[in-house]
Amino acid sequence: DTGVSQDPRHKITKRGQNVTFRCDPISEHNRLYWYRQTLGQGPEFLTYFQNEAQLEKSRLLSDRFSAERPKGSFSTLEIQRTEQGDSAMYLCASSTSQRLGGLNANEQYFGPGTRLTVT
């Protein structure tokens, strides 16, 4: 267990429905990332938060996707009007920009992911 949790672990939804995923990072971490991983591929960057500010979004993140990190703690990723092409594993990771105890700067710790299936 890396200390990063995600909920739910699995989500099956029908095309056109909205879904929301939650990520709880390691508490000392000020950086939070969302990635998408399709079967047999490496994760692809979606978006990045430093504290509560969303500082970068990938072109992969269409206008149907929105992410928030209120108060710089947990984060949510919402997909509106889901499409079959959205089926993937959504991974959250957190890191710190400072060296804290045994945690190395910029070392990302990943959650277990939320597997989304759109039928």
Q: Extract the tokens encoding 69.
A: 């990190």
Measured from the CB atom, is 19 or 92 closer to other proteins? Answer: 92
Q: How far apart are CA 73 and CA 30, in angstroms?
A: 8
Query: Which strand (E) or helix (H) includes residue 117?
Result: strand 114-118
Q: Is the dihedral of CA 23, 27, 32, 38 positive or negative?
A: negative
* Shortest distance (Å) from residue 83 CB to other proteins: 23
* Shortest distance (Å) from residue 117 CB to other proteins: 15
* Shortest distance (Å) from residue 81 CB to other proteins: 26
Q: How far apart are the first and last CA of the chain?
A: 30
Query: Residues in the site for other proteins, rule: CB under 8 A?
Result: 1-2, 4, 31, 33, 35, 40-45, 48, 50, 55-56, 91, 93, 95, 97, 104-113
Measured from the CB atom, is 4 or 19 closer to other proteins? Answer: 4
